[in-house]
Amino acid sequence: MYSLADEFFSTYVCAHCPIIRERYQAGDTIVIYGEWCGGKVQKNVAIWGLPVMFVIIKVKIVNELTTEIASATTIHKQPRDPRTYWLDPREWATIKWHQRSIYNIFDFPTYTMEIDFNNPTVVEEPLSQITEQVERECPVGAYFNRTGVGEGVVWTEWTKTGGNLVFKVKGRKHLVTQPKALVSATITKCANVNEFIGYACTENRMFQALDYMREQNVSIEIESLNIFLKWLAEDIIKEEKDTMNESRISIKDMTQAMTNKAERFFMEKLKKRRKRNSRLKRAGKK
């Protein structure tokens, strides 16, 4: 794997991106971000079942700053906190290695929109329309001559935040919450903890927890229940903390209510798994 990465970086990154080559030769660290997709990474999307691929989505430069410290006899360099920044997409939009299933997000259709974050409600409808279009027909799937559903669109703001502001709009089939509107500039407020659990602890989110367990090679067994609940609680807190704060719902109350619902879901899946395994065993004895 390391030899492949070295070849990719030297032949397909540095050779095609002068600014990366320049910063690397100056001693900076280059971090290439991307997502794995295709294969069995995510069900119910157009690119499910395609060869596993890596899609580059961002490149970060880490400038290892140092300070020269002089003593009576020597001068040595002392590391300081590094300065990091996202590289402008125009600098890395051509980095790819298709023969090794390494793609660039700019290989596929992208979208541009001006957003006034002081008045974001005006873009709620356009954002929803683009998301619904992607959900109906995945543009990445279309690139590979596959028809089917797309999950959503990730938006990155470059003009003022230099790539630090990122948000994602998912289609309704992939939402892990149950909002009234697909896109809303206002924070959702729930009347009580039960309403919040209905909003945040959805089947899609619980299936994501099971997907996480599979990725970690953890099977659905009663001993795995705490792993399932821990991932679910942490994901809800991470993704829905603003709604919890707006609704004045404590982590303790959320966790207790979530556990009641999630345990029932988990036990139902465990029961189905045991029945399936039992049928397979009986079939094997015949």
Domain residues of the chain, as ranges? 1-70+77-107, 111-174, 187-286
Which run of H or of E encompasses 199? helix 193-200
**Residue 123 tokens, joined:** 């873009």
User: pLDDT tens string for the chain (286 positions)?
Assistant: 578 888 999 999 998 899 999 999 988 999 999 999 888 777 778 888 889 999 999 999 998 655 455 555 555 555 555 689 999 999 999 999 999 999 999 999 999 999 888 888 888 888 888 988 888 889 999 999 988 888 888 999 999 999 999 888 876 665 555 665 555 666 788 899 999 999 889 888 998 899 889 888 898 999 999 999 999 999 999 888 888 998 999 999 999 999 999 999 999 999 888 887 777 666 655 5
State the angle between helix axes of 251-285 and 225-247 in degrees (0 to 180), rounded to the nearest 10.
Answer: 150
DSSP state, 169? E
Query: Exposure pattern of 133-148 as b/e (b: 16+ CB <10 Å)?
Result: ebbeebebbeeeebee
The pLDDT value given to residue 223 = 93
The pLDDT value given to residue 277 = 74
For residue 2, the number of C-alpha atoms closer than 13 Å in the C-beta half-sphere is: 0
CB atoms within 10 A of CB 98: 11
Q: Is 91 helix (H, G, I), strand (E, B) or coil?
A: helix
CB atoms within 10 A of CB 221: 12
The pLDDT value given to residue 280 = 67
Q: Is 162 helix (H, G, I), strand (E, B) or coil?
A: coil
Q: Residue 237: is it exposed, middle or buried by C-beta count within 10 angstroms (0-12/13-18/19+)? A: middle
Closest CA to 170 of 181, 162, 157, 161: 181
CB atoms within 10 A of CB 252: 9
For residue 9, the number of C-alpha atoms closer than 13 Å in the C-beta half-sphere is: 15
Query: What residue type is assigned to position 197 of the chain?
Result: I
Q: Is 239 helix (H, G, I), strand (E, B) or coil?
A: helix
The pLDDT value given to residue 282 = 65
